[in-house]
Amino acid sequence: MSRLTVPKTYKLYIGGKFPRTESGRSIPIQDCKGEIAAHICHASRKDFREAVEVAAKAAHGWSGITGYLRGQILYRMAEMLEGRREEFAAAICATADVTTAAARKEVDASIDRLVCFAGWTDKYQQVLGCQNPVASNFYNFTVPVSQGVTCVIAPDEPSLLGLVSLIAAPLCAGNTVVALGSQKHPIPTAIFGEVCQTSDVPAGVINLLTGKRSDLIEQVATHRQVASVNAAGLSKKDRVTIEVGAADSIKRVSFSSLKGDAWYDPQLCASPWAIEPFVEMKTIWHPSSSH
């Protein structure tokens, strides 16, 4: 018996809920044959503002839990993604011109990336931090601490692996994230919220928007609550917009120029140096009886 298709309009993921955009706008997404695969929410500036608001509220709790627990939660995300491997592979294939095998490879790499950063959550402190020699009666430590809210702008391709790589590093360091997913292939971003929702990720820690970069780039650049930006695949014009806004509001900015297979390289994407742009260094002087 033939069935009716179930056409979907994917929602945003903000503050642990799945709202539609407050603007009521949606964008049809075409598959490779030019037919409509789904509709996605066309997020507005107000959606972005709302997401930053909840992310800022969630930041204290997320940075306050132990690195060990953050690691468990990131690992749980990897488990959930593993369980939905086929769904994500299909979501990648729905709009991108790739084979199922290639899509599965991307999902697997995304799972591995989450596992990798889950491992780093209670270890990057030892690599990035240090004990400093000082010529007086003090112990002197430098330790990395989280920044607050990181805004992620994911590359168009790879849609899932790019998003996961860019959010995992700031999350690992105890930042909360507002991410704008791939503009060309937004479906994996839209369903990634369901992974977050079922992985004990506290509400507001990960917020996912879909829509047009050009609508939000100015707000991302100038919003004073956003402490850092992690972006890939931006045009020169967009990079300039972000840098000018960031200079005014004192953000740390990290642009990635990775392409193709480079996204699969753990040396480039999953080292503690990928975490470093999303921490601040705090130096502590502690009195000692001798040196």
Partner 1 sequence: MRRHVDTVMVEQRAASFTRRSIKTQSKTQGLRLALSMIDLTTLEGKDSDEKVRSLCRKAITPWEGEITPSLPSVAAVCVYPSLVRIAKRALEGSGVHVASVATGFPSGQFPLSVRIDDVTKAVEAGADEIDMVINRGAFLSGHYDEVAEEIKQVRIACGDAHLKIILETGELETLENVRAASDLAIEAAASAGPIADGEVFIKTSTGKVSPAATMPVTLVMLDAIQSYFDKTGVRIGMKPAGGIRTAKQSLHYLVMVKETLGDDWLTPNLFRFGASSLANDVLRQLVRQHTGRYTANFDFSEA
3-state SS, one letter per residue, for 237-275 = HHHHHHHHHHHHHCCEEEEECCCHHHHHCHHHHCCHHHH
Residue 224 touching partner 1 (CB under 8 A): yes
Are the CB atoms for 157 and 165 separated by under 8 Å? Answer: no
Which among 51, 18, 56 has a CA at the least distance from the CA of 176? 56
Residue count at the site for partner 1 (CB under 8 A)?
A: 9
Residue 252 touching partner 1 (CB under 8 A): no
Q: Which of residues 63-82 bind partner 1 (CB under 8 A)?
A: none
- Return phi, psi of residue 6, to 5°: -110, 90
What lies within 8 Å, CB to CB, of 133 at 6+ separation is: 140
**Nearer CB in complex with partner 1: 64/266:** 64
**Nearer CB in complex with partner 1: 140/219:** 219
How far apart are CB 224 and partner 1 at their closest, in Å? 4
Stretch near partner 1 under the rule CB under 8 A, chosen from 16-24, 49-57, 188-196, 256-264: 49-57
Out of 87, 225, 255, 271, point to the residue binding partner 1 (CB under 8 A): 225
**Nearer CB in complex with partner 1: 72/225:** 225
Are the CB atoms for 163 and 152 separated by under 8 Å? Answer: yes
Rg (CA), the chain: 20
Stretch near partner 1 under the rule CB under 8 A, chosen from 9-17, 87-95, 139-147, 221-229: 221-229
Site residues for partner 1 per CB under 8 A: 49, 52, 56, 219, 222-225, 249
